[in-house]
Amino acid sequence: MTPGFIPKIKRQKHYLPAVVANHSANEGMLIDFGTILSGHFLCDIAADYLGQVTFLYAEELNADGTISFDSSISGTYGVTDEEHGINAGDPIIQKDVIKKNKQEIFRFENQYCYHSFRYVLVKAGPQIGVLEELLSNVQAYSVYTDMASVSRFESSSHELNRLWEAAQNTRLNNIHSYFEDCTRERFGYGGDIVALIDSQLYSHDMHNLLKKVFMDFAYDQTPAGGIPQTAPYVGIMTNGTSNGAGSLGWQLVFRCLPQKSSSITKIRHLYKLSCHHW
């Protein structure tokens, strides 16, 4: 066990719904937050409602306006569980299911898990006539490691400013104590880290996180010296250099991280010297 030394994961930006409406095509109430975020959903469920409420999370809509889970599912269950109504080929959809059995306002909020979504589809039992009367105080928070920003971009172009903001949000949405490859899989693939590390360094203070991720890979290094495909190791491998090791391009992360960390140290040293000289 090693004491934590990186910034904590925290709730960050606060969002209110851009659109809330009954949606016959989706057979429920569709909540649109106007942007993709990785984080927590919160709402109050009406006191007089008893029954089940299901929240389904997605990033996109289809051309016909129905909700699309294509970009937010990580695969299929792979096993059949009749008790829970699961078939092996069913997609793993991000969702929460609430079973309310007391006539009092129920405050629902994600705390120990997070979802990647722009849209939340709400489905409830037949007792409720208008779904808008079911929920109140609907909101969301983006949740990620509390990284300090080291760069800023502003221009006269609204589109470029929005592009910069989208890039920043995308990077932060994929940092939860390690560099994730995407919000639906959430694995720390070495190759993805190598490909994106420069843009991360230009955006946020990554010094301690680089050290932490390097230690994660070092901890899971195989006895033969191979570096796993992901850290933590989750069984994904190619056996290219040793049993349990990842593909060669992904093993480059073990060389890349200390190099980048060394570069940061040198830049900081030169910056201090220049400030002192000035």
Please spell the DSSP secondary structure of 74-116, one letter per residue: --B--S-BGGGTB-TT-B---EEEEEE-SSS-EEEE-SS--EE
CATH of the domain at 89: 2.60.120.260
Among 145, 168, 190, which residue terminates a domain? 145
Note whether residue 137 is domain-resident: yes
What phi and psi values does residue 270 have, to the nearest 5 degrees?
-65, -35
The answer to whether residues 138 and 202 belong to one domain is no
One pLDDT digit (tens) per residue for the chain, 278 residues: 778 899 999 999 999 999 887 766 667 889 999 999 999 999 999 998 999 999 999 999 999 888 999 888 888 888 999 998 889 998 889 999 999 999 999 999 999 899 999 999 999 876 555 566 889 999 999 999 999 999 899 999 999 999 999 999 999 999 999 999 888 888 899 999 999 999 898 899 988 999 999 999 999 999 989 999 999 898 888 877 888 899 988 999 999 998 887 766 655 554 454 444 44
The answer to whether residues 128 and 189 belong to one domain is no
DSSP letter assigned to residue 178: S
| Per-residue confidence (pLDDT) for residue 97, from 0 to 100 | 93
The answer to whether residues 135 and 231 belong to one domain is no
The answer to whether residues 42 and 119 belong to one domain is yes
Spatial separation of the C-alpha atoms in residues 132 and 205, rounded to whole Å: 42
Is there a contact between 229 and 186 (Cβ–Cβ < 8 Å)?
no
Spatial separation of the C-alpha atoms in residues 255 and 264, rounded to whole Å: 15
3-state secondary structure of 245: coil
Note whether residue 171 is domain-resident: yes
Is there a contact between 145 and 87 (Cβ–Cβ < 8 Å)?
no
Among 101, 124, 145, which residue terminates a domain? 145
Note whether residue 196 is domain-resident: yes
Number of domains in the chain: 2
Spatial separation of the C-alpha atoms in residues 186 and 122, rounded to whole Å: 25
Spatial separation of the C-alpha atoms in residues 33 and 16, rounded to whole Å: 6
The answer to whether residues 100 and 168 belong to one domain is no
The answer to whether residues 271 and 202 belong to one domain is yes
* Amino acid (one-letter) located at 117: F
As given in the structure block, the two tokens for residue 64 are: 């016909």
Note whether residue 3 is domain-resident: no
> By CB neighbour count within 10 A (0-12 exposed, 13-18 middle, 19+ buried), where does 101 fall?
exposed
The answer to whether residues 131 and 234 belong to one domain is no
Is there a contact between 268 and 262 (Cβ–Cβ < 8 Å)?
no
Among 111, 145, 179, which residue terminates a domain? 145
Note whether residue 1 is domain-resident: no
What domain range includes position 261? 158-277
Spatial separation of the C-alpha atoms in residues 254 and 30, rounded to whole Å: 44
The answer to whether residues 23 and 141 belong to one domain is yes
Helix axes 190-203, 253-277, angle to 10 degrees: 10
The answer to whether residues 195 and 242 belong to one domain is yes
Is there a contact between 12 and 144 (Cβ–Cβ < 8 Å)?
yes
DSSP string of 9-56, one letter each residue: EEEEEEE--SEEEEEGGGTEEEEEEEEEEEEEEEEEE-TT--EEEEEE
Note whether residue 26 is domain-resident: yes
DSSP letter assigned to residue 237: -
Name, in order, each residue with C-beta under 8 angstroms of 255's C-beta and a sequence gap of 6 or more.
none
The answer to whether residues 115 and 185 belong to one domain is no
* Amino acid (one-letter) located at 105: I
The answer to whether residues 140 and 166 belong to one domain is no
Note whether residue 151 is domain-resident: no
3-state secondary structure of 207: helix
Note whether residue 264 is domain-resident: yes
The answer to whether residues 23 and 125 belong to one domain is yes
